[in-house]
Amino acid sequence: MKANIAIVQAGGPTSVLNASLAGFLEAAASSERYHHVLGFCNGIEGLIKNQVMHLEGLSKAQLDALKSQPGAVLGAGRYPLTPERLSKVCCNLQLREISQLVLVGGNGTMWAADQIAEACPDVQIVGIPKTVDNDLWGTDHSPGYLSAAKFIGEAVRSLALDLWAMRNFERVRVVEVMGRNVGWLAAAGSLAQTSLPDYPPLHFYLPEHPFELEKFFTKVDEHLHRHPCLLVIVSEGIRLADGSPVAEFEIGRCKVPGGAAQMLSSELRNRGIPSRSEVLGILQRANTWSVCERDRQEAIFLGKQAIGVLGQGKSKVMLGLPAETVDFAEDSKAQWVDLKSVAGLERPVAPCYLTESGIDPSFTAWLQNKMGEPLAEANSALQVWKLAAEQLSSNPVNRQSR
């Protein structure tokens, strides 16, 4: 008998979340094992409210479109899974005779997947990793991260060249990137330095290290005594030693981290240091023009692998990418880990990748290798930077202390 299978996109979207869905649908269609292929709408909320759309029979053109567009065509978002709501999920899966369920998301989604697997033992549950934050255990990196990292590298490089041009007017620029609890995205700003050799060192502040305001000011002063300008990259979630966020704001009834760059830039101006802030914002996870092709292919790969793993009778597992680069051959296999070993956990940036206020070159090399492609216009950026940097040697900027 043919089975009914369903998929859920949950949490925050990425540039390649729909690509995982496309891979899943292509593999489901070719397996001929399924009667209905359903998509629950709006993430966990759709599972609870029994909101579905039929996905069998999509055309090749529709599947190809999914592979290249950001967002979540099913709707994603956040919705708490309480014990009462969990019971409704089980009832809805039983009502629709769904025997296999795939959830695509981050650590919160994997926690929900584990809860559903425990409450609905007759349903096979498989998780596909998805997060720009790259904070999931059980996978070398997560689909979504490489594209966001590439975007950040290109954005930081562009802002660095702009700051260099304005260094007689603006001394410090503070750039805020996403990352509530971990700094993988902020660390990606180090990619900018690969095509700007000898650019004044960038400073990085990640949630992995407690933030000290006075120490920050001291480092800014020391830097500006040696260099004409400074670019600072901060994670939105940097916190003080007591655990409180440097800055936050409210969305509805929820407080979320953000505003650190604006606050720090304002404090610098109060101290007489010309500064402004930039927030890269949601474009980090939603851009279409800077998607990393390997990221897209890995997302498609894991979507297809989910069908194969379910066919083998596996359940209560999350798929993952191995440390070795996947070649996407027919016999390529994803690794998998028990949901309980990753559910709700966060993976910080490894200490070996961090210095006191910077990123170790080994991290940048690791990230470049995973991306498998350079930043856009890397060669022209290098040539422009070399030409611009000649001005400093021929007409030095006044570096006297303030």
Q: What is the pLDDT of residues 37-92, one digit of tens each?
A: 999 999 999 999 999 999 998 999 999 999 999 999 999 999 999 999 999 999 99
Q: Which amino acid is present at 175?
A: V
Residue ranges of the alpha helices (H) in 293-373?
293-311, 361-371
Residues of the chain with pLDDT below 70 are 395-402
Residue 252 has a pLDDT of 76
Residue 402 has a pLDDT of 42
Q: Which two tokens stand for residue 303?
A: 């979507």
- Residue among 1, 73, 6, 66 nearest 36 (CA): 6
pLDDT tens-place string over residues 297-311: 999 999 999 999 999
On whether the CB atoms of residues 191 and 364 are closer than 8 A, the answer is: yes
Q: What is the DSSP string of 198-264?
A: TPPPPEEE-TTS---HHHHHHHHHHHHTTSS-EEEEEETT-B-TTS-BSSEEEETTEEEE--HHHHH
Q: Residue 188's beta-bridge partner residues?
A: none
d(CA 22, CA 28): 10
CB atoms within 10 A of CB 355: 11
Q: Is 178 annotated as a binding residue?
A: yes
d(CA 353, CA 9): 31
| Structural domains for the chain | 3-132+139-144+291-341 (3.40.50.450), 149-288+350-394 (3.40.50.460)
d(CA 276, CA 262): 7
Q: Is 12 annotated as a binding residue?
A: yes
Q: Residue 39's beta-bridge partner residues?
A: 7, 53
d(CA 6, CA 101): 5
Q: Which amino acid is present at 208?
A: E
Catalytic residue at 295?
no
Q: Which two tokens stand for residue 399?
A: 């570096």
SS3 of residue 168 by DSSP? coil
Q: Is 133 annotated as a binding residue?
A: yes
On whether the CB atoms of residues 34 and 4 are closer than 8 A, the answer is: yes
SS3 of residue 375 by DSSP? coil
- Residue among 328, 338, 331 nearest 302 (CA): 328
Q: Is 131 annotated as a binding residue?
A: yes
φ, ψ (nearest 5 deg) of residue 390: -60, -25
Residue with tokens 């890397």, as numbered in its chain: 378
Q: Check 64, 122, 133, 295 and give the catalytic one.
A: 133
Q: Is 320 annotated as a binding residue?
A: no
Proportion of the chain above pLDDT 90, given as a percent: 91
Residue 399 has a pLDDT of 46
Residue 400 has a pLDDT of 43
Q: Is 236 annotated as a binding residue?
A: yes
Residue 255 has a pLDDT of 83
Residue with tokens 């993988």, as numbered in its chain: 184
- Phi/psi class of residue 57: alpha, beta or left (left: φ > 0; alpha: ψ in -120 to 50)? left
Q: Is 360 annotated as a binding residue?
A: no
